[in-house]
Amino acid sequence: MNHMNPLQFLRLLIKGPTPQQMAAQLRQPHGMMARKVGERMNAANRSLYEGAWKALDLRDGMSVLEIGFGNGVFFGELANKAKNLKLHGLDFSQDMVTQASTRNDALIASGSLSLTHGASDAMPFADASFDRIFCINVVYFWDDPAAHLREVRRVLKPAAAGRPGGTFTAVLRRRSSMEKLPFSPFGFTMYEQADWENVLHANGFNPISTTVLQDAEVEYEGKKYAPESLVMVAMAAA
């Protein structure tokens, strides 16, 4: 299994883009760089996906939405985490939707996966559609988190008699890790655990668990870097 830390990802990304260009690609992969960006995101994010899957606590037959799925390389593994999962993906990048659709054509044909191009502050899904919603390295790009979380809450299944409500899992690199990267000043809103918990509370969610993921320490241009990520699970407040 190939784990790649964010600085290796940065180093291996196509040579030449400015930090501003790189930030724009990470927000919405597009054009000639989209395929390479998607591949490097996969390598950098694998450990984050594994942390998310553990936190999702999936059960047979659940309906699961990933916001910002990139080129969709992990849907095949996700589909095997429980029986008869109904997987859905929403991505802001049409290039990523196109790549992921090709990559997962068998899952789509079987009816196990549907992919949609769109924004998470205006989701094209019915109320109470999903048992689980998750996103990885996405919340930095929510300029108005309230609008996105309002939609997340709308499409999550509420608690009912004998059944807990759905959960929303956000995986994000801590601000103390992100702010060392040269592209982070350009369009990223960065959080520590308490910051994101405050955003959740302000928008009708109760945080229920946080797991810290620690990557191996690396040295980059003479500086040591030990990136940490947060896997933060929340439920809609009653």
Please determine, for residue 35, whether its predicted confidence score (pLDDT) is greater than 80. no
Q: What is the pLDDT of residue 12?
A: 45
Min mean pLDDT across 28-42, 51-65, 196-210, 211-225 is at 28-42
Q: What is the pLDDT of residue 4?
A: 45
Q: What is the pLDDT of residues 180-200, one digit of tens each?
A: 665 565 567 889 999 999 999
Say how far apart CA 189 and CA 151 lie, in whole Å: 19
Instruction: Provide the residue count of the chain.
Output: 238
Percent of all residues in the chain with a pLDDT value above 90, rounded to a whole number? 57
Q: What is the pLDDT of residue 15?
A: 46
Please, what is the angle between helix 94-103 and helix 34-56, to 10°? 70
Q: What is the pLDDT of residue 20?
A: 56
User: Where does the pLDDT of residue 132 fall: very low under 50, low under 70, confident under 90, or very high at 90 and above?
Assistant: very high
Say how far apart CA 23 and CA 182 lie, in whole Å: 9
Q: What is the pLDDT of residue 142?
A: 94
Q: What is the pLDDT of residue 196?
A: 97
Average of per-residue pLDDT values in the chain: 82
User: Where does the pLDDT of residue 214 fall: very low under 50, low under 70, confident under 90, or very high at 90 and above?
Assistant: confident
Question: Which tops the pLDDT comparison, 215 or 15?
Answer: 215
| For residues 1-24, average pLDDT | 48
Contacts (Cβ under 8 Å, ≥6 apart) of 148: 120, 121, 139, 142
Q: How many CB atoms lie within 10 A of CB 208?
A: 14
Min mean pLDDT across 48-57, 89-98, 151-160, 210-219 is at 210-219
- What CATH number is given for 6-236 in this structure? 3.40.50.150
| For residues 58-71, average pLDDT | 95
| For residues 125-147, average pLDDT | 95
User: Where does the pLDDT of residue 7 fall: very low under 50, low under 70, confident under 90, or very high at 90 and above?
Assistant: low
